Amino acid sequence: MSYYINRTLRLPFDEAVSRTVQALKSEGFGIISEIDVSATLKEKAGIDYPAYRILGACNPAMAHKALVLEDKVGTMLPCNVIVRDAGNGATEVAAVDPLASMQAIANPALTDLARAVRARLQAAVQHL
């Protein structure tokens, strides 16, 4: 099982970020954190790295259900979605597969919820 859901787009990076945020929103996710990996690597380590952003996507209702089922599941939240410059005019969008990450927790109810979250993330990535 792959640990991510992805799609490569022929879009400029900033447009891909904007479309990703909108696609996630259409599936009930909000962005609660955003990390500019490229800027951080440049500032903290002097490393030049292609454009790379990590979006922390959260569906509040589903996150609440997960927390009720497992109070430590917050260590695996939010659902990370990356947008990265893949070179040659391509931008890749990849979302964590919550079903893969929830395999570490032996709770069938949480697995069912992870399937539902996965379906929404897949839909968002496919709508790009």
Q: How far apart are the first and last CA of the chain?
A: 23
Write out pLDDT tens, residues 90-109: 999 999 999 999 988 999 99
- The predicted-structure confidence for 5-41, as pLDDT tens digits, reads as follows 999 999 999 999 999 999 999 999 999 999 999 999 9
Supply the angle between the helices 108-126 and 60-69 in degrees, to the nearest 10. Answer: 160
> In the prediction, which pLDDT does 35 show?
98
pLDDT band at 87 (very low <50, low <70, confident <90, very high): very high
Domains defined for the chain, CATH in brackets: 4-126 (3.30.310.70)
Residue 30: its pLDDT value, please?
Answer: 98
111: tokens are 């697995």
As beta bridge partners, residue 4 has 96
This prediction's pTM: 0.94
